[in-house]
Amino acid sequence: MHKLQPETALPQPPLYVGSEVFRRAAFGANHPLKIVRHSAVLDLVRILGWLRDDDFRTPQPATVAQLTKFHDSRYVEALQYADSTGKVDPEIRERYHIGTLENPLFEGLFERAATTVAGSIMSARLALEGHVVFHPSGGTHHGRRDRASGFCYFNDPVFAMRTFLEEGCGRVLYVDLDAHHGDGVEEAFVDESRAMTVSIHEKDRWPYSGAADDRRNGGARNFPVPRNFNDAELHYLVEHAVLPIADRFRPDALVLCCGADSLGGDPLSAMGLSNVALWDTVDRLLEFDLPTVVLGGGGYNPWTVCRYWAGMWGRLTGQEMPATLPPAAVEMLTLMECDLIDDEDVDPAWLTTLVDTPHDGPVRAEIESLAAQLVKD
């Protein structure tokens, strides 16, 4: 197991990695990610008085040399050129999947994507100094080595994991709680015995990969779960499968992808978890007491995203969760918009509270069977 150096062995405060780059409009007018996310999370934790200036870090965009340690140089060059010119030739669009409805061009695209990668590199290095690091702008887990995919242009979780390995960690565990299978991360480490990927995702949901019997040379464990996946079922999988798998793998560092689309109310998934269940899951993984990076991910309901990730920072820093939000927070949430959610479907609790009502329910036999299948060697 990785041991902190003596001078950093004492517990260090959690750190928040972010950038004003993410305050700029992105993805265009008709994209699920045009909603306000990262800037709203940052604003909410500041309204709540939970973020000290000393605990905030801002990365500079990753350089081309850094990006090409994983990504194909021709792809990086094509993306940079498309961003600078604002256009994509049909051949480039077909080859690299950029300039599409899924992965559109927009002003500042390359800087935004490169800053996300730099944030994950920075986060891993800070984690090795003894901090739990929260990087909600990270979690672009679908990006491939040589193309964009699933709204992701680069794959920042890969860079966090590679940084841990390059800095001397013997093994790195990646746990993905996003509603969509973490396919890009899994593919990146298919031949790397020092990395294991664990993904809990909705069954029969894009990208339609991550079957339970897909173990990618033994380095992957996939948990495709049914619709209306509830809090009790997540707890069951974590306790009966994820934690035993992690304990057996004996990682030296953790990278967690905490996509908010696994929450109830997300328009692009149907898992239905509460933010409390997801915070509790992260707490359980933090009990391994390892260098840990906590990333964001997907999430297309701006209200549930903002409350989940702000509350995540609150959990990491030991804050008392308020029963109701202060007026400034309510005003901010009330002004949010989302084309994918009708006004009458906006839960009033999303505007006034931080903590979800638990989504309790029975543990279905399918979940018990999945845990039993995946916990086996």
pLDDT for res 6: 35
Both tokens assigned to 367: 């979940």
Is residue 86 domain-resident? Answer: no
Stretches in the chain below the pLDDT threshold 70: 1-10
pLDDT for res 218: 86
Cα–Cα distance measured from residue 372 to residue 124, given in angstroms and rounded to the nearest whole number? 32
Instruction: Choose among 248, 59, 91, 24: nearest CA to 159.
Output: 59
Instruction: Choose among 47, 336, 59, 297: nearest CA to 185.
Output: 297
240 annotated active-site? no
Q: What is the CATH number of the domain that holds 146?
A: 3.40.800.20
Q: Which of 97, 135, 141, 142 is catalytic?
A: 142
pLDDT for res 217: 85
Is residue 368 domain-resident? Answer: yes
pLDDT for res 1: 44
The answer to whether residues 165 and 45 touch, using CB atoms and an 8 Å cutoff, is no
Tell me whether the omega of the peptide bond preceding residue 32 falls within 30 degrees of 0, making it cis. Answer: no
Residue range(s) defining the domain that contains residue 153: 10-61+111-375
pLDDT for res 133: 98
SS3 45: helix
Is residue 118 domain-resident? Answer: yes
The residues, ordered by sequence, that sit 6+ positions from 312 with a Cβ below 8 Å of its Cβ are: 134, 136, 258, 275, 278, 279, 282, 294
Is residue 117 domain-resident? Answer: yes
pLDDT for res 194: 98
pLDDT for res 199: 98
pLDDT for res 8: 43
pTM value is: 0.97
pLDDT for res 238: 98
Beta bridge partners of 133: 15, 293
pLDDT tens digit string along 307-316?
999 999 999 9
pLDDT tens digit string along 152-194?
999 999 999 999 999 999 999 999 999 999 999 999 999 999 9
Is residue 310 domain-resident? Answer: yes
pLDDT for res 200: 98
The conformational region for residue 250 under phi > 0 = left, psi -120 to 50 = alpha, else beta, is left
Is residue 212 domain-resident? Answer: yes
Is residue 97 domain-resident? Answer: no
Number of domains in the chain: 1
Is residue 104 domain-resident? Answer: no
